[in-house]
Structure 1
Protein backbone atom coordinates (compact mmCIF):
# COMPACT_ATOMS: atom_id res chain seq x y z
CA UNK A 1 0.00 0.00 0.00
CA UNK A 2 1.44 3.43 -0.91
CA UNK A 3 2.54 5.73 1.89
CA UNK A 4 -0.21 8.39 2.35
CA UNK A 5 2.46 11.05 2.80
CA UNK A 6 3.64 10.36 -0.73
CA UNK A 7 0.21 11.32 -2.08
CA UNK A 8 0.30 14.78 -0.50
CA UNK A 9 1.31 17.76 -2.59
CA UNK A 10 3.50 20.65 -1.47
CA UNK A 11 0.45 22.89 -1.07
CA UNK A 12 -0.97 20.37 1.42
CA UNK A 13 2.19 20.54 3.54
CA UNK A 14 2.12 24.35 3.34
CA UNK A 15 -1.47 24.32 4.58
CA UNK A 16 -0.68 22.12 7.58
CA UNK A 17 2.34 24.28 8.42
CA UNK A 18 0.28 27.48 8.20
CA UNK A 19 -2.45 26.11 10.50
CA UNK A 20 0.16 24.87 12.98
CA UNK A 21 2.00 28.20 13.06
CA UNK A 22 -1.10 30.39 13.10
CA UNK A 23 -3.06 28.06 15.43
CA UNK A 24 -6.27 28.76 13.58
CA UNK A 25 -7.95 28.68 10.19
CA UNK A 26 -8.67 32.39 9.49
CA UNK A 27 -5.05 33.47 10.01
CA UNK A 28 -3.77 30.45 8.06
CA UNK A 29 -6.15 31.27 5.19
CA UNK A 30 -4.93 34.87 5.15
CA UNK A 31 -1.31 33.73 5.02
CA UNK A 32 -2.03 31.33 2.16
CA UNK A 33 -4.22 33.81 0.28
CA UNK A 34 -7.21 31.45 0.09
CA UNK A 35 -10.69 31.31 1.57
CA UNK A 36 -11.29 30.08 5.13
CA UNK A 37 -13.63 27.43 3.74
CA UNK A 38 -10.89 26.14 1.43
CA UNK A 39 -8.51 25.59 4.36
CA UNK A 40 -11.25 23.87 6.39
CA UNK A 41 -12.21 21.55 3.52
CA UNK A 42 -8.67 20.68 2.46
CA UNK A 43 -7.51 20.05 6.04
CA UNK A 44 -10.35 17.57 6.46
CA UNK A 45 -9.30 15.83 3.25
CA UNK A 46 -5.66 15.63 4.37
CA UNK A 47 -6.62 14.16 7.74
CA UNK A 48 -8.90 11.63 6.06
CA UNK A 49 -6.10 10.65 3.68
CA UNK A 50 -3.62 10.17 6.51
CA UNK A 51 -6.19 8.44 8.69
CA UNK A 52 -5.41 10.50 11.76
CA UNK A 53 -6.33 13.94 13.13
CA UNK A 54 -3.59 16.53 12.79
CA UNK A 55 -5.20 19.14 15.04
CA UNK A 56 -7.40 19.33 18.10
CA UNK A 57 -10.18 21.89 17.74
CA UNK A 58 -10.56 24.20 20.73
CA UNK A 59 -12.62 27.34 21.25
CA UNK A 60 -9.39 29.33 21.26
CA UNK A 61 -7.96 27.79 18.09
CA UNK A 62 -6.28 24.74 16.62
CA UNK A 63 -3.59 22.80 18.52
CA UNK A 64 -1.44 20.31 16.63
CA UNK A 65 -1.61 16.67 17.68
CA UNK A 66 1.57 14.59 17.81
CA UNK A 67 0.94 13.60 14.19
CA UNK A 68 0.26 17.22 13.27
CA UNK A 69 3.54 18.31 14.83
CA UNK A 70 5.41 15.69 12.80
CA UNK A 71 3.79 16.75 9.52
CA UNK A 72 4.33 20.45 10.30
CA UNK A 73 7.99 19.81 11.16
CA UNK A 74 8.45 17.96 7.87
CA UNK A 75 6.76 20.84 6.03
CA UNK A 76 9.07 23.35 7.72
CA UNK A 77 12.14 21.36 6.65
CA UNK A 78 10.79 21.12 3.10
CA UNK A 79 10.12 24.85 3.04
CA UNK A 80 13.66 25.58 4.20
CA UNK A 81 15.15 23.36 1.53
CA UNK A 82 12.94 24.90 -1.17
CA UNK A 83 13.93 28.39 -0.07
CA UNK A 84 17.61 27.47 -0.16
CA UNK A 85 17.26 25.90 -3.59
CA UNK A 86 15.36 28.94 -4.87
CA UNK A 87 18.14 31.24 -3.69
CA UNK A 88 20.77 29.11 -5.42
CA UNK A 89 18.83 28.96 -8.66
CA UNK A 90 18.12 32.69 -8.54
CA UNK A 91 21.85 33.28 -8.66
CA UNK A 92 22.06 31.20 -11.83
CA UNK A 93 18.92 32.48 -13.53
CA UNK A 94 19.10 34.36 -16.78
CA UNK A 95 17.73 37.89 -16.38
CA UNK A 96 14.04 38.06 -17.27
CA UNK A 97 13.22 39.95 -20.43
CA UNK A 98 10.35 40.58 -22.81
CA UNK A 99 6.99 42.30 -22.52
CA UNK A 100 4.31 41.97 -19.84
CA UNK A 101 0.83 43.24 -20.62
CA UNK A 102 -0.74 44.31 -17.34
CA UNK A 103 -4.47 44.98 -16.98
CA UNK A 104 -5.72 46.97 -14.01
CA UNK A 105 -8.07 49.81 -13.10
CA UNK A 106 -7.19 53.50 -13.26
CA UNK A 107 -7.72 53.81 -9.50
CA UNK A 108 -5.27 51.03 -8.69
CA UNK A 109 -2.76 52.30 -11.22
CA UNK A 110 -2.73 55.92 -10.08
CA UNK A 111 -3.42 55.33 -6.40
CA UNK A 112 -1.19 52.36 -5.71
CA UNK A 113 0.71 50.68 -8.53
CA UNK A 114 2.71 53.32 -10.40
CA UNK A 115 5.51 53.52 -7.79
CA UNK A 116 5.56 49.71 -7.63
CA UNK A 117 5.87 49.44 -11.41
CA UNK A 118 8.57 52.10 -11.44
CA UNK A 119 10.64 50.16 -8.90
CA UNK A 120 10.10 46.94 -10.87
CA UNK A 121 11.39 48.54 -14.06
CA UNK A 122 14.41 49.97 -12.24
CA UNK A 123 15.24 46.49 -10.95
CA UNK A 124 14.48 44.69 -14.23
CA UNK A 125 15.09 47.01 -17.19
CA UNK A 126 14.90 44.11 -19.64
CA UNK A 127 11.15 43.81 -19.08
CA UNK A 128 8.81 46.18 -20.95
CA UNK A 129 5.40 46.95 -19.46
CA UNK A 130 2.28 47.38 -21.58
CA UNK A 131 -0.33 48.75 -19.16
CA UNK A 132 -4.04 48.62 -19.96
CA UNK A 133 -6.59 50.31 -17.70
CA UNK A 134 -10.33 49.90 -17.60
CA UNK A 135 -13.18 48.71 -15.42
CA UNK A 136 -13.94 45.66 -17.55
CA UNK A 137 -11.97 42.55 -16.63
CA UNK A 138 -9.44 41.56 -19.27
CA UNK A 139 -9.80 38.07 -20.73
CA UNK A 140 -6.49 36.45 -19.88
CA UNK A 141 -7.52 33.27 -21.70
CA UNK A 142 -7.59 35.28 -24.94
CA UNK A 143 -4.29 36.94 -23.97
CA UNK A 144 -5.91 40.37 -23.66
CA UNK A 145 -3.33 40.66 -20.90
CA UNK A 146 -0.63 38.55 -19.28
CA UNK A 147 -1.35 39.71 -15.73
CA UNK A 148 -4.44 41.23 -14.16
CA UNK A 149 -4.26 43.24 -10.95
CA UNK A 150 -7.85 43.54 -9.84
CA UNK A 151 -10.16 43.99 -6.89
CA UNK A 152 -12.48 41.01 -6.77
CA UNK A 153 -14.36 38.83 -4.32
CA UNK A 154 -14.50 35.95 -6.79
CA UNK A 155 -11.70 35.86 -9.40
CA UNK A 156 -12.29 33.52 -12.35
CA UNK A 157 -11.51 29.89 -11.54
CA UNK A 158 -9.65 29.61 -14.86
CA UNK A 159 -6.91 31.92 -13.56
CA UNK A 160 -4.20 31.42 -10.96
CA UNK A 161 -2.58 33.90 -8.65
CA UNK A 162 -2.59 35.19 -5.14
CA UNK A 163 -4.54 37.53 -2.91
CA UNK A 164 -2.23 40.42 -2.13
CA UNK A 165 -4.32 42.45 0.35
CA UNK A 166 -7.81 43.39 1.49
CA UNK A 167 -8.88 46.80 0.12
CA UNK A 168 -10.67 48.88 2.73
CA UNK A 169 -13.34 51.43 1.73
CA UNK A 170 -14.63 54.36 3.77
CA UNK A 171 -16.80 57.44 3.29
CA UNK A 172 -14.92 60.65 2.32
CA UNK A 173 -15.71 64.30 1.76
CA UNK A 174 -14.14 67.72 2.09
CA UNK A 175 -14.35 69.71 5.30
CA UNK A 176 -17.83 71.06 5.96
CA UNK A 177 -19.72 68.18 4.35
CA UNK A 178 -21.58 65.70 6.52
CA UNK A 179 -23.13 62.34 5.77
CA UNK A 180 -26.52 63.54 6.97
CA UNK A 181 -26.81 66.56 4.67
CA UNK A 182 -24.27 66.40 1.83
CA UNK A 183 -25.09 65.28 -1.72
CA UNK A 184 -23.71 61.89 -2.74
CA UNK A 185 -21.48 60.81 -5.59
CA UNK A 186 -22.46 57.44 -7.01
CA UNK A 187 -20.58 54.83 -9.06
CA UNK A 188 -21.93 54.81 -12.62
CA UNK A 189 -23.17 51.83 -14.62
CA UNK A 190 -19.69 50.38 -15.36
CA UNK A 191 -19.18 50.17 -11.58
CA UNK A 192 -22.63 48.85 -10.70
CA UNK A 193 -21.22 45.60 -9.28
CA UNK A 194 -19.20 47.41 -6.60
CA UNK A 195 -20.46 46.91 -3.03
CA UNK A 196 -20.43 50.72 -2.71
CA UNK A 197 -22.88 50.97 -5.61
CA UNK A 198 -25.16 48.44 -3.95
CA UNK A 199 -25.02 50.43 -0.71
CA UNK A 200 -26.24 53.57 -2.45
CA UNK A 201 -29.06 51.70 -4.22
CA UNK A 202 -30.29 50.38 -0.88
CA UNK A 203 -29.76 53.37 1.41
CA UNK A 204 -29.52 56.67 -0.48
CA UNK A 205 -32.56 58.24 -2.19
CA UNK A 206 -32.04 59.16 -5.85
CA UNK A 207 -32.76 62.79 -5.03
CA UNK A 208 -29.57 63.00 -2.95
CA UNK A 209 -27.31 61.83 -5.80
CA UNK A 210 -25.38 64.80 -7.18
CA UNK A 211 -23.52 62.90 -9.91
CA UNK A 212 -22.64 59.45 -11.18
CA UNK A 213 -19.12 58.72 -12.38
CA UNK A 214 -17.82 55.80 -14.38
CA UNK A 215 -14.50 55.26 -12.59
CA UNK A 216 -13.35 55.13 -8.98
CA UNK A 217 -10.57 57.60 -9.76
CA UNK A 218 -13.16 60.05 -11.07
CA UNK A 219 -15.20 59.56 -7.89
CA UNK A 220 -12.16 60.52 -5.81
CA UNK A 221 -11.45 63.60 -7.94
CA UNK A 222 -15.08 64.73 -7.76
CA UNK A 223 -15.17 64.30 -3.99
CA UNK A 224 -11.94 66.27 -3.66
CA UNK A 225 -13.49 69.05 -5.75
CA UNK A 226 -16.39 69.27 -3.27
CA UNK A 227 -19.07 67.91 -5.59
CA UNK A 228 -20.29 65.54 -2.91
CA UNK A 229 -19.36 62.71 -0.57
CA UNK A 230 -18.37 59.24 -1.78
CA UNK A 231 -17.23 55.84 -0.67
CA UNK A 232 -13.62 55.40 -1.80
CA UNK A 233 -10.80 52.93 -1.32
CA UNK A 234 -8.76 54.15 1.62
CA UNK A 235 -5.56 54.18 -0.44
CA UNK A 236 -7.19 56.84 -2.65
CA UNK A 237 -9.09 58.83 -0.04
CA UNK A 238 -6.31 58.98 2.54
CA UNK A 239 -3.79 60.18 -0.07
CA UNK A 240 -5.81 63.32 -0.90
CA UNK A 241 -5.16 66.10 1.66
CA UNK A 242 -8.47 67.85 0.95
CA UNK A 243 -10.50 64.78 1.86
CA UNK A 244 -11.27 63.45 5.31
CA UNK A 245 -12.93 60.29 6.48
CA UNK A 246 -16.52 60.84 7.51
CA UNK A 247 -16.85 57.33 8.97
CA UNK A 248 -14.60 54.35 9.73
CA UNK A 249 -13.96 51.78 6.99
CA UNK A 250 -17.00 49.63 6.30
CA UNK A 251 -16.30 45.91 6.26
CA UNK A 252 -19.17 45.18 3.88
CA UNK A 253 -17.62 47.39 1.18
CA UNK A 254 -14.13 45.84 1.28
CA UNK A 255 -12.78 43.63 -1.50
CA UNK A 256 -9.70 41.51 -2.14
CA UNK A 257 -6.80 42.67 -4.31
CA UNK A 258 -5.68 39.84 -6.59
CA UNK A 259 -2.62 39.28 -8.77
CA UNK A 260 -3.76 36.93 -11.53
CA UNK A 261 -2.40 35.24 -14.61
CA UNK A 262 -3.24 32.32 -16.89
CA UNK A 263 -1.98 28.88 -15.78
CA UNK A 264 0.03 28.57 -19.01
CA UNK A 265 2.00 31.71 -18.14
CA UNK A 266 2.68 31.35 -14.44
CA UNK A 267 6.04 29.62 -14.91
CA UNK A 268 7.32 32.13 -17.49
CA UNK A 269 10.34 33.79 -15.80
CA UNK A 270 9.20 37.36 -16.46
CA UNK A 271 5.65 36.64 -15.21
CA UNK A 272 6.79 34.82 -12.08
CA UNK A 273 9.30 37.56 -11.36
CA UNK A 274 6.67 40.27 -11.83
CA UNK A 275 4.07 38.56 -9.63
CA UNK A 276 6.56 37.90 -6.83
CA UNK A 277 7.85 41.47 -6.99
CA UNK A 278 4.36 43.02 -6.88
CA UNK A 279 3.24 40.74 -4.05
CA UNK A 280 6.22 41.73 -1.92
CA UNK A 281 5.77 45.44 -2.67
CA UNK A 282 2.04 45.41 -1.92
CA UNK A 283 2.69 43.51 1.31
CA UNK A 284 4.76 46.51 2.38
CA UNK A 285 1.81 48.80 1.60
CA UNK A 286 -0.85 46.82 3.49
CA UNK A 287 -1.32 49.56 6.06
CA UNK A 288 -2.33 51.96 3.28
CA UNK A 289 -4.45 49.43 1.36
CA UNK A 290 -6.25 48.01 4.39
CA UNK A 291 -7.08 51.38 5.84
Structure 2
Protein backbone atom coordinates (compact mmCIF):
# COMPACT_ATOMS: atom_id res chain seq x y z
CA UNK A 1 0.00 0.00 0.00
CA UNK A 2 1.10 3.54 -0.79
CA UNK A 3 1.92 5.65 2.25
CA UNK A 4 0.88 9.26 2.58
CA UNK A 5 1.15 11.87 5.35
CA UNK A 6 -1.90 10.87 7.42
CA UNK A 7 -1.17 13.68 9.91
CA UNK A 8 -2.32 16.14 7.23
CA UNK A 9 -5.46 14.17 6.39
CA UNK A 10 -8.60 14.95 8.40
CA UNK A 11 -11.79 12.87 8.68
CA UNK A 12 -13.70 15.30 6.45
CA UNK A 13 -10.98 14.91 3.83
CA UNK A 14 -11.30 11.15 4.01
CA UNK A 15 -15.10 11.35 3.68
CA UNK A 16 -14.59 13.43 0.55
CA UNK A 17 -12.18 10.89 -0.94
CA UNK A 18 -14.58 8.04 -0.10
CA UNK A 19 -17.46 9.81 -1.84
CA UNK A 20 -15.43 10.39 -5.02
CA UNK A 21 -14.21 6.78 -4.92
CA UNK A 22 -17.77 5.48 -4.65
CA UNK A 23 -19.14 7.52 -7.54
CA UNK A 24 -15.98 7.96 -9.64
CA UNK A 25 -17.14 11.51 -10.33
CA UNK A 26 -17.36 14.89 -8.65
CA UNK A 27 -21.07 15.21 -9.43
CA UNK A 28 -21.86 11.93 -7.66
CA UNK A 29 -19.78 12.95 -4.64
CA UNK A 30 -21.53 16.33 -4.62
CA UNK A 31 -24.95 14.65 -4.44
CA UNK A 32 -23.84 12.35 -1.62
CA UNK A 33 -22.30 15.16 0.43
CA UNK A 34 -24.95 17.76 -0.36
CA UNK A 35 -22.50 20.21 -1.89
CA UNK A 36 -21.95 21.76 -5.29
CA UNK A 37 -19.73 20.33 -7.99
CA UNK A 38 -17.43 23.35 -7.80
CA UNK A 39 -17.07 22.99 -4.01
CA UNK A 40 -16.07 19.33 -4.37
CA UNK A 41 -13.60 20.30 -7.09
CA UNK A 42 -11.98 22.93 -4.87
CA UNK A 43 -11.92 20.62 -1.83
CA UNK A 44 -10.24 17.65 -3.51
CA UNK A 45 -7.64 19.93 -5.11
CA UNK A 46 -6.98 21.47 -1.68
CA UNK A 47 -6.62 18.03 -0.04
CA UNK A 48 -4.15 16.88 -2.68
CA UNK A 49 -2.19 20.13 -2.41
CA UNK A 50 -1.85 20.07 1.39
CA UNK A 51 -0.90 16.38 1.52
CA UNK A 52 1.28 16.40 -1.57
CA UNK A 53 -0.49 13.23 -2.71
CA UNK A 54 -2.51 12.67 -5.88
CA UNK A 55 -5.48 10.47 -4.97
CA UNK A 56 -7.17 10.53 -8.39
CA UNK A 57 -6.30 10.64 -12.05
CA UNK A 58 -8.62 12.93 -14.00
CA UNK A 59 -10.12 11.55 -17.21
CA UNK A 60 -13.00 12.79 -19.39
CA UNK A 61 -15.02 9.76 -18.25
CA UNK A 62 -14.47 10.42 -14.54
CA UNK A 63 -12.05 10.22 -11.62
CA UNK A 64 -9.94 7.05 -11.30
CA UNK A 65 -8.16 6.15 -8.06
CA UNK A 66 -4.39 6.11 -7.93
CA UNK A 67 -2.57 3.69 -5.60
CA UNK A 68 -2.83 6.34 -2.89
CA UNK A 69 -6.57 6.64 -3.58
CA UNK A 70 -7.05 2.90 -3.18
CA UNK A 71 -5.12 3.02 0.09
CA UNK A 72 -7.28 5.88 1.35
CA UNK A 73 -10.39 3.97 0.30
CA UNK A 74 -9.36 0.85 2.21
CA UNK A 75 -8.55 2.73 5.41
CA UNK A 76 -11.49 5.08 5.01
CA UNK A 77 -14.01 2.26 4.69
CA UNK A 78 -12.76 0.71 7.92
CA UNK A 79 -12.83 4.03 9.78
CA UNK A 80 -16.30 4.83 8.40
CA UNK A 81 -17.65 1.41 9.39
CA UNK A 82 -16.39 1.81 12.96
CA UNK A 83 -17.68 5.37 13.17
CA UNK A 84 -21.12 4.39 11.90
CA UNK A 85 -21.25 1.36 14.19
CA UNK A 86 -20.53 3.63 17.14
CA UNK A 87 -23.27 5.99 16.05
CA UNK A 88 -25.78 3.15 15.67
CA UNK A 89 -24.92 1.74 19.09
CA UNK A 90 -25.19 5.10 20.81
CA UNK A 91 -28.38 6.09 19.00
CA UNK A 92 -29.87 2.63 19.45
CA UNK A 93 -29.60 3.00 23.22
CA UNK A 94 -31.25 6.43 23.26
CA UNK A 95 -34.56 6.27 25.09
CA UNK A 96 -35.49 9.95 24.85
CA UNK A 97 -38.35 11.27 22.74
CA UNK A 98 -36.23 14.21 21.61
CA UNK A 99 -33.77 14.94 18.85
CA UNK A 100 -33.65 14.46 15.09
CA UNK A 101 -34.85 11.62 12.88
CA UNK A 102 -33.90 11.55 9.20
CA UNK A 103 -36.74 10.20 7.06
CA UNK A 104 -36.38 9.29 3.39
CA UNK A 105 -39.35 8.67 1.11
CA UNK A 106 -40.39 8.93 -2.56
CA UNK A 107 -40.25 12.44 -3.97
CA UNK A 108 -43.99 12.76 -4.68
CA UNK A 109 -44.79 11.45 -1.20
CA UNK A 110 -42.42 14.02 0.30
CA UNK A 111 -44.17 16.87 -1.50
CA UNK A 112 -47.81 15.86 -1.08
CA UNK A 113 -48.32 13.62 1.94
CA UNK A 114 -45.31 13.88 4.23
CA UNK A 115 -45.90 17.45 5.50
CA UNK A 116 -49.29 16.54 6.94
CA UNK A 117 -48.01 13.30 8.41
CA UNK A 118 -45.06 15.06 10.03
CA UNK A 119 -47.31 17.83 11.40
CA UNK A 120 -49.59 15.29 13.06
CA UNK A 121 -46.58 13.40 14.44
CA UNK A 122 -45.05 16.54 15.92
CA UNK A 123 -48.35 17.46 17.54
CA UNK A 124 -47.78 14.39 19.71
CA UNK A 125 -43.98 14.64 19.90
CA UNK A 126 -43.03 18.33 19.62
CA UNK A 127 -39.41 17.78 20.69
CA UNK A 128 -38.63 15.44 17.78
CA UNK A 129 -37.44 17.09 14.56
CA UNK A 130 -37.96 15.33 11.24
CA UNK A 131 -35.45 15.93 8.43
CA UNK A 132 -37.05 14.80 5.16
CA UNK A 133 -34.98 13.52 2.25
CA UNK A 134 -36.92 12.84 -0.98
CA UNK A 135 -35.67 10.18 -3.36
CA UNK A 136 -36.23 6.72 -4.79
CA UNK A 137 -32.68 5.39 -4.52
CA UNK A 138 -31.84 2.80 -1.90
CA UNK A 139 -30.23 4.24 1.22
CA UNK A 140 -27.50 2.64 3.29
CA UNK A 141 -28.80 2.72 6.84
CA UNK A 142 -25.56 1.24 8.15
CA UNK A 143 -23.95 4.50 6.99
CA UNK A 144 -26.81 6.43 8.66
CA UNK A 145 -27.94 8.10 5.44
CA UNK A 146 -31.39 7.93 7.06
CA UNK A 147 -32.87 6.45 10.24
CA UNK A 148 -36.29 5.64 8.74
CA UNK A 149 -37.21 4.90 5.13
CA UNK A 150 -40.53 4.62 3.33
CA UNK A 151 -39.81 2.45 0.32
CA UNK A 152 -41.75 0.76 -2.47
CA UNK A 153 -39.84 -2.38 -3.37
CA UNK A 154 -40.19 -6.06 -4.13
CA UNK A 155 -37.72 -7.17 -1.50
CA UNK A 156 -36.53 -4.94 1.36
CA UNK A 157 -32.79 -5.03 2.20
CA UNK A 158 -31.74 -7.93 4.41
CA UNK A 159 -30.12 -5.56 6.91
CA UNK A 160 -33.38 -3.79 7.72
CA UNK A 161 -36.23 -3.98 10.21
CA UNK A 162 -39.77 -2.81 9.66
CA UNK A 163 -43.26 -3.55 8.50
CA UNK A 164 -44.99 -4.15 5.18
CA UNK A 165 -47.86 -1.69 4.71
CA UNK A 166 -49.43 -3.30 1.65
CA UNK A 167 -49.42 -3.30 -2.14
CA UNK A 168 -48.00 -0.43 -4.21
CA UNK A 169 -49.23 -0.19 -7.79
CA UNK A 170 -48.97 1.82 -11.00
CA UNK A 171 -51.42 2.64 -13.80
CA UNK A 172 -51.69 4.77 -16.93
CA UNK A 173 -53.16 8.28 -16.79
CA UNK A 174 -54.22 10.94 -19.30
CA UNK A 175 -56.31 14.10 -19.58
CA UNK A 176 -59.59 14.09 -21.46
CA UNK A 177 -58.26 16.86 -23.71
CA UNK A 178 -55.42 14.62 -24.86
CA UNK A 179 -57.67 11.60 -25.40
CA UNK A 180 -59.99 13.64 -27.61
CA UNK A 181 -57.09 14.90 -29.68
CA UNK A 182 -55.26 11.55 -29.88
CA UNK A 183 -58.20 9.59 -31.23
CA UNK A 184 -57.85 5.85 -31.75
CA UNK A 185 -54.29 4.60 -31.90
CA UNK A 186 -52.21 1.75 -30.53
CA UNK A 187 -50.58 2.20 -27.13
CA UNK A 188 -47.08 2.40 -28.61
CA UNK A 189 -48.15 5.24 -30.92
CA UNK A 190 -49.40 7.56 -28.17
CA UNK A 191 -47.48 10.60 -26.93
CA UNK A 192 -45.89 9.79 -23.57
CA UNK A 193 -44.85 11.85 -20.55
CA UNK A 194 -42.20 10.02 -18.54
CA UNK A 195 -40.66 10.09 -15.10
CA UNK A 196 -36.95 9.89 -15.78
CA UNK A 197 -35.71 6.30 -15.64
CA UNK A 198 -39.09 4.60 -16.08
CA UNK A 199 -39.03 4.04 -19.84
CA UNK A 200 -37.44 0.55 -19.47
CA UNK A 201 -40.35 -0.45 -17.18
CA UNK A 202 -42.60 -0.44 -20.26
CA UNK A 203 -40.48 -3.00 -22.12
CA UNK A 204 -41.92 -5.24 -23.54
CA UNK A 205 -45.38 -4.14 -22.35
CA UNK A 206 -45.51 -1.23 -24.82
CA UNK A 207 -42.31 -1.32 -26.89
CA UNK A 208 -39.84 -4.12 -27.69
CA UNK A 209 -36.93 -1.96 -26.52
CA UNK A 210 -36.46 1.32 -24.67
CA UNK A 211 -34.88 2.77 -27.82
CA UNK A 212 -38.06 2.01 -29.76
CA UNK A 213 -40.13 3.96 -27.26
CA UNK A 214 -37.92 7.04 -27.01
CA UNK A 215 -39.32 8.80 -30.13
CA UNK A 216 -42.80 8.74 -28.53
CA UNK A 217 -41.65 10.54 -25.36
CA UNK A 218 -42.72 14.17 -25.61
CA UNK A 219 -41.92 15.15 -22.02
CA UNK A 220 -39.53 13.73 -19.44
CA UNK A 221 -38.64 14.92 -15.95
CA UNK A 222 -37.11 13.59 -12.77
CA UNK A 223 -39.94 15.27 -10.85
CA UNK A 224 -43.16 13.25 -10.63
CA UNK A 225 -45.25 16.39 -10.19
CA UNK A 226 -43.87 17.90 -13.38
CA UNK A 227 -44.91 14.77 -15.28
CA UNK A 228 -48.37 14.83 -13.68
CA UNK A 229 -48.77 18.48 -14.66
CA UNK A 230 -47.68 17.70 -18.22
CA UNK A 231 -50.37 15.01 -18.38
CA UNK A 232 -52.96 17.41 -16.97
CA UNK A 233 -51.98 19.90 -19.70
CA UNK A 234 -52.91 17.28 -22.30
CA UNK A 235 -49.40 16.52 -23.51
CA UNK A 236 -49.75 12.74 -23.42
CA UNK A 237 -50.24 9.67 -21.25
CA UNK A 238 -48.02 8.60 -18.36
CA UNK A 239 -47.27 5.67 -16.09
CA UNK A 240 -47.66 7.00 -12.54
CA UNK A 241 -47.96 5.61 -9.00
CA UNK A 242 -51.65 5.25 -8.15
CA UNK A 243 -51.30 6.89 -4.74
CA UNK A 244 -50.06 10.04 -6.45
CA UNK A 245 -52.20 10.34 -9.58
CA UNK A 246 -55.50 9.00 -8.20
CA UNK A 247 -55.76 12.00 -5.87
CA UNK A 248 -56.02 14.47 -8.77
CA UNK A 249 -59.21 15.00 -10.75
CA UNK A 250 -57.27 16.78 -13.52
CA UNK A 251 -56.20 13.39 -14.86
CA UNK A 252 -58.14 10.18 -15.36
CA UNK A 253 -56.97 6.63 -15.08
CA UNK A 254 -56.92 4.98 -18.50
CA UNK A 255 -55.81 1.47 -17.54
CA UNK A 256 -56.07 -1.13 -14.86
CA UNK A 257 -53.05 -1.40 -12.58
CA UNK A 258 -50.02 -2.93 -14.31
CA UNK A 259 -49.56 -6.22 -12.46
CA UNK A 260 -45.97 -6.82 -13.58
CA UNK A 261 -44.90 -3.59 -11.87
CA UNK A 262 -46.57 -4.36 -8.55
CA UNK A 263 -44.40 -3.55 -5.52
CA UNK A 264 -44.98 -3.54 -1.78
CA UNK A 265 -44.77 -0.52 0.50
CA UNK A 266 -42.56 -0.76 3.60
CA UNK A 267 -41.51 1.36 6.57
CA UNK A 268 -37.93 0.41 7.44
CA UNK A 269 -35.08 1.17 9.79
CA UNK A 270 -31.74 -0.37 10.72
CA UNK A 271 -32.14 -3.29 13.18
CA UNK A 272 -29.86 -1.55 15.69
CA UNK A 273 -32.21 1.46 15.78
CA UNK A 274 -35.50 -0.30 16.43
CA UNK A 275 -35.17 0.32 20.17
CA UNK A 276 -34.49 4.06 19.78
CA UNK A 277 -37.46 5.86 21.29
CA UNK A 278 -37.86 8.57 18.65
CA UNK A 279 -37.33 6.14 15.77
CA UNK A 280 -39.82 3.71 17.26
CA UNK A 281 -42.36 6.51 17.77
CA UNK A 282 -42.06 7.73 14.18
CA UNK A 283 -42.35 4.23 12.74
CA UNK A 284 -45.47 3.50 14.79
CA UNK A 285 -46.99 6.76 13.52
CA UNK A 286 -46.12 5.87 9.92
CA UNK A 287 -47.59 2.37 10.29
CA UNK A 288 -50.88 3.92 11.37
CA UNK A 289 -50.98 6.75 8.83
CA UNK A 290 -49.93 4.70 5.82
CA UNK A 291 -52.05 1.75 6.87
CA UNK A 292 -55.18 3.92 6.79
CA UNK A 293 -54.45 4.74 3.14
CA UNK A 294 -53.49 1.20 2.06
CA UNK A 295 -56.22 1.17 -0.61
CA UNK A 296 -54.79 4.33 -2.16
CA UNK A 297 -51.28 2.86 -2.47
CA UNK A 298 -52.73 -0.38 -3.85
CA UNK A 299 -54.61 1.52 -6.56
CA UNK A 300 -58.04 0.50 -5.29
CA UNK A 301 -59.66 3.93 -4.97
CA UNK A 302 -60.23 4.57 -8.70
CA UNK A 303 -60.75 2.52 -11.85
CA UNK A 304 -60.56 3.23 -15.58
CA UNK A 305 -63.43 5.32 -16.91
CA UNK A 306 -64.62 4.97 -20.48
CA UNK A 307 -61.10 4.35 -21.84
CA UNK A 308 -58.82 1.44 -21.04
CA UNK A 309 -55.61 1.66 -23.08
CA UNK A 310 -54.12 -1.55 -21.75
CA UNK A 311 -55.57 -4.65 -23.43
CA UNK A 312 -56.46 -7.33 -20.92
CA UNK A 313 -54.19 -9.89 -22.57
CA UNK A 314 -51.22 -7.54 -22.12
CA UNK A 315 -51.78 -6.52 -18.50
CA UNK A 316 -48.94 -7.80 -16.39
CA UNK A 317 -46.63 -8.64 -19.30
CA UNK A 318 -44.16 -5.88 -18.51
CA UNK A 319 -41.02 -6.27 -16.41
CA UNK A 320 -39.00 -4.23 -14.07
Q: Please indicate, yes or no, whether the TM-score normalized by the shorter chain is above 0.5.
A: yes
> 1 CA distance for matches of 2:99 and 2:206?
44
Give 1:256's match in structure 2, choosing from 257, 264, 284: 264
Show the counterpart of 1:278: 286
Structure 2 gap ranges (5+):
1-94, 180-184, 300-320
SS of alignment partner, residue 275 of structure 1: helix
How many residue pairs get aligned? The number is: 196
Show the counterpart of 1:150: 151
Which structure would you say has the larger Rg?
2
Summarize the alignment of residues 79-228 of structure 1 with structure 2, pairs less than 5 Å apart: 96-178=97-179, 180=186, 182-189=190-197, 191=198, 195=201, 199=205, 202=208, 205-228=213-236
SS of alignment partner, residue 211 of structure 1: strand
Alpha-carbon distance change, 102 to 287 in structure 1, aligned in 2, over 3 angstroms: same
Per-residue Cα deviation, 1:30-79 (whole angstroms, up to 9, x for no partner): xxxxxxxxxxxxxxxxxxxxxxxxxxxxxxxxxxxxxxxxxxxxxxxxxx
> 2 CA distance for matches of 1:185 and 1:233?
14
- State the 1:264 CA deviation: 0.9
- State the 1:241 CA deviation: 1.6
> 1 CA distance for matches of 2:204 and 2:140?
25
- State the 1:199 CA deviation: 4.4
RMSD over equivalenced CA pairs, Å: 2.3
- State the 1:111 CA deviation: 3.6
Alpha-carbon distance change, 196 to 182 in structure 1, aligned in 2, over 3 angstroms: closer
SS of alignment partner, residue 289 of structure 2: helix
- State the 1:196 CA deviation: 5.0
Structure 1 gap ranges (5+):
1-93
Alpha-carbon distance change, 198 to 268 in structure 1, aligned in 2, over 3 angstroms: farther
Equivalent residues of 2:169, 2:263 under 8 A apart: yes
